[in-house]
Amino acid sequence: MSAHSLDQGRILVTGGAGFIGSAVIWALNQRGLENILVSDLLGSDEKWRNLVPLKFADYIEATDLAALIEKNDATVAGVKTVIHLGACSSTTERNAEYLVRNNYEWTKKLAHWSVGNARRFVYASSAATYGDGNEGMEDRDDQLSKLRPLNMYGYSKHLFDLYAKREGLLPKIVGLKYFNVFGPNEWHKGEMRSLVNKAYDQILATGSLQLFKSHHPDYPDGGQKRDFLYVKDAVAMTLHLAETSSASGLFNLGSGEADTWLTLAQSLFAALERPSQIAYIDIPENIRTNYQYFTLANISKLRDSGYVAPITPLSAAVADYALNYLNPHRHLGD
């Protein structure tokens, strides 16, 4: 496999204060890399705290980045690698215009700038593009037109995947279809936090945990399945694809295993050395019709690209997260 060196030139990480973005910067720091330009929209939430322990060369608000890109300002002129993770990732966001501008139009602009200037471009697509999974969850470029996302967030990501294929960009860039990623640095995500994060507080406060009932005859309560991926594995996969210049197109990033919500919950109870006490509640009406009952990443394409690292088992990942980051409350790099 041909290599793209991450230590030659600056690395631009958009969404760098966010969950996966800050974890990418942490992983780069673990390699001794600090020539990183971080871009994000810090707003008024607490995600700025994710940046505090990290080392990087410069920070710029995402609203100012487009102008610097257009004039190839010195701030971005030395960039050799772009890891584009900046996006609105809320699956319940209803403002379609905002999602198109933020997730689709900006990605187009950044991709063309990167390819036109021989920068390595890696961007976040999403497993949400697969919808209910009836058309499979294969990261094959020739299957794109068959996919039917269930929410506007997934569609905004799907729009760019389709555009990149249509415009001949996919053979020159890498798109990452993250599945259910969880782990440190997600506190700022509110209701979009992982179940592990939300359940931790619930269990400490009440001794029990609420899970959604199933409204599908093929799945028992708590038996809905997801491909859960620890964020440390997600960023290792991301950096592997960023530095493997022969890799291109779309890649599923998951564990390759489908575990139930019940298994996830029981792993957390076990990590906390507490008896498993679970109550089931109805899925809210506003998300019930778009609820995914099963996700599973086929990661053979990732493996074929040369990624050989073992993937952290779910129980071990939950224990590491709960015991080393949720208690005490720590960020990556602390």
Do 235 and 20 contact (CB within 8 A), yes or no? yes
Query: Of the given ranges (74-78, 109-113, 248-252), which has the lowest mean pLDDT?
Result: 74-78
Residue 170 included in any domain: yes
Lowest mean pLDDT among 16-25, 53-62, 83-92, 211-220: 83-92
pLDDT level of residue 93 (50, 70, 90 thresholds): confident
Q: What span, in angstroms and rounded, lies between the C-alpha atoms of 130 and 153?
A: 12
Contacts of 160 (CB under 8 A, 6+ apart): 103, 104, 107, 108, 111, 123, 125, 175
pLDDT confidence bin for 1, thresholds 50/70/90: low
Share of the chain above pLDDT 70, in %: 100
- For the cut 80, the answer to whether the pLDDT of residue 88 exceeds it is no
Average pLDDT estimate for 49-75: 94
Per-residue pLDDT tens digits for 142-198? 889 999 998 999 999 999 999 999 999 999 999 999 999 999 999 999 888 999 999
Buried b / exposed e over 152-187, threshold 16 CB at 10 Å, is bbbbbbbbbbbebbeeebbebbbbbbbbbbbbbbbb
Q: Please tell me the distance from the alpha carbon of residue 206 to that of residue 325, in angstroms, as a whole number.
A: 20
Distance separating the N- and C-terminal Cα atoms of the chain: 34
Q: Are strands 259-260 and 225-226 parallel, antiparallel or unpaired?
A: antiparallel
Residue 222 belongs to a domain: no
Q: Check whether the bond before 328 is cis (ω within 30° of 0).
A: yes
Nearest partner of 17 among 189, 240, 239, judged by Cα: 189
Residues paired with 100 in a beta bridge: none
Supply 94's token pair.
Answer: 């209803």
Mean pLDDT taken over the chain:
94
Active site residues: 153, 189
- Write down the pTM of the prediction: 0.95
Confidence (pLDDT) at 289: 85
Model confidence pLDDT, tens digit, residues 224-263: 999 999 999 999 999 999 999 999 999 999 999 999 999 9
Read off the pLDDT of residues 270-283 as tens digits, 9 standing for 90 and up.
Answer: 999 999 999 999 99
Residue 333 lies inside a defined structural domain of this protein: no
Label residue 26 exposed, middle or buried (CB < 10 Å: 0-12, 13-18, 19+): buried
**Sequential DSSP letters for 240-266:** HHHHBTT--EEEEES-S--EEHHHHHH
What one-character-per-residue DSSP string does 209-237 give?
EEEEPP-STTS-TT--EE-EEEHHHHHHH
With respect to residue 197, please indicate whether it lies within any of the assigned structural domains. no
Residue 200 has pLDDT above 90, yes or no: yes
pLDDT of residue 216: 94
Domain boundaries, position 15: 10-183+227-256+293-312
Q: What is the pLDDT of residue 270?
A: 97
* Structural domains of the chain, count: 1
Q: Count CB atoms within 10 A of the CB of residue 284.
A: 10
For residues 230 and 322, what is the distance between their CA atoms, to the nearest angstrom? 12
The CATH number linked to 24 is 3.40.50.720
Residue 126 included in any domain: yes
Q: What are 79's two structure tokens?
A: 């960039």
DSSP assignment, residue 6?
A: T
**Tally of residues, the chain:** 334
Q: How confident is the model at residue 94 (pLDDT cuts 50, 70, 90)?
A: confident
Q: Is residue 189 part of a domain?
A: no
| Domain assignment of residue 212, yes or no | no
For residue 100, being part of any structural domain is answered with: yes
